[in-house]
Structure 1
Amino acid sequence: MESRGGVPARPPAYEGVWRFTAPAVDVSVPQARHAVRDLLKRQGVPLQDDAVQGLLLIVSELVTNAVRHAALLSPEVAVEVAIGPEWIRVSVEDNHPYRPKALETDAGRTGGRGLLLVREITREAGGVCDVEHTATGGKIIWAALPLRPAPSPAPPAPPAIPSPSA
């Protein structure tokens, strides 16, 4: 953290950890996406629009997977958003023990590529993603992306200073 005159700088106002739960049903997918989008706006997280869209797609894919594949053993899913000064991490936790793997691309399949998509979006953004087991036997699937603030508009060029006439 930078400081001014030996006084530590305060952390950005957007930093923190937010967690919410939702039933493992289809309607929770858009609700989770909207909740994360609203959180980013409310907290003033400095993300470019394409990064926000990628992050929201990751949330949609992870919640969709939990709803489709874990609902039998996990009637509720938890979504967590953790924001630091240089990164943002989204995770989805359920109580199903199966640890999924990203599937290879298969042009003949119409589904089953959600985690592959999550991995690609994360990689392109310069982030990382993984799956972890919980102490209760479930799992957490997460993706962490670097925070790259939207570029500020370039300041206007200073006016030309006329040279003194001789």
Structure 2
Amino acid sequence: MTLQPVALPMRSVLVAPTVPASVRLARETAELTYAGWGINPGHPVLGPALLVLSELVTNSVRHAAAASPQLTVTYAASADMLAFAVHDRHPYVLDPLSFPQSRGGLATVAELATEWGGTWTVRPDADGGGKGVWITLPL
């Protein structure tokens, strides 16, 4: 599902190497960042959000590491929305409409985002050299 970008008042960025350890780093950073913004660690959407985040970072590690030695995770939130994006510099741009029909992680991303009333979109870089996958979930 794709929507226009929404400006959210709280934002933080993590730049990490495109290696397996970055999956855990991205999750832990998300937990700390969102808690610091007052999002209750026990909020029901946080568990699914962390799973989706892990799937997206894992995708970058598995498929983009050769072309993108680092990845960027952007965390964002407002009073009623949680968002994050995983960006890498691999030039292949995913079709967000294919997520539900895909196998593995992207199907999980689509299923959880839909189940929790959220959205997903893929934003290609202006130069065509990479992309970011954005997820939004209502709080």
Question: The TM-score by the shorter chain falls in which range?
Answer: 0.7 to 0.9
**Among residues 119, 122, 133, which one is paired with 2:124 in the alignment?**
133
Please state how far the C-alpha of 1:82 moved relative to its aligned partner: 1.0
Please state how far the C-alpha of 1:104 moved relative to its aligned partner: 3.1
Q: Which runs of 5+ in 1 are unaligned?
A: 1-14, 106-111, 148-166
For the pair shown, the structure with the greater C-alpha radius of gyration is 1
TM-score (norm 2): 0.84
Aligned length: 127
Counterpart CA distance in 2 for 1:48 and 1:95 is 33
**Among residues 45, 54, 65, which one is paired with 1:71 in the alignment?**
65
Counterpart CA distance in 1 for 2:108 and 2:45 is 14
Counterpart CA distance in 2 for 1:23 and 1:93 is 12
Question: Match of 1:25?
Answer: 19
Contact 1:127 1:143 in 2 (8 A): yes
Please state how far the C-alpha of 1:114 moved relative to its aligned partner: 0.4
Query: Is 2:90 the partner of 1:90?
Result: no
Runs of 4+ in 1 over 2 A off after TM superposition: 46-50, 100-105
Specify the code of the residue in structure 2 equivalent to 1:145.
L
Please state how far the C-alpha of 1:103 moved relative to its aligned partner: 6.2
Query: Is 2:98 the partner of 1:113?
Result: no
Higher RCO, Cα 8 Å, sep 6+: 2
TM-score (norm 1): 0.71
Counterpart CA distance in 1 for 2:34 and 2:11 is 12
Q: Would the alpha carbon gap of residues 31 and 47 (structure 1) be closer, same or farther in structure 2, given more than 3 Å must change?
A: closer
Q: Would the alpha carbon gap of residues 47 and 28 (structure 1) be closer, same or farther in structure 2, given more than 3 Å must change?
A: closer
Counterpart CA distance in 2 for 1:62 and 1:96 is 13
Of all paired residues, the percent bearing the same amino acid is 36
Where 1:117 maps in the other structure, the secondary structure is helix
CA RMSD of aligned residues (A): 1.7
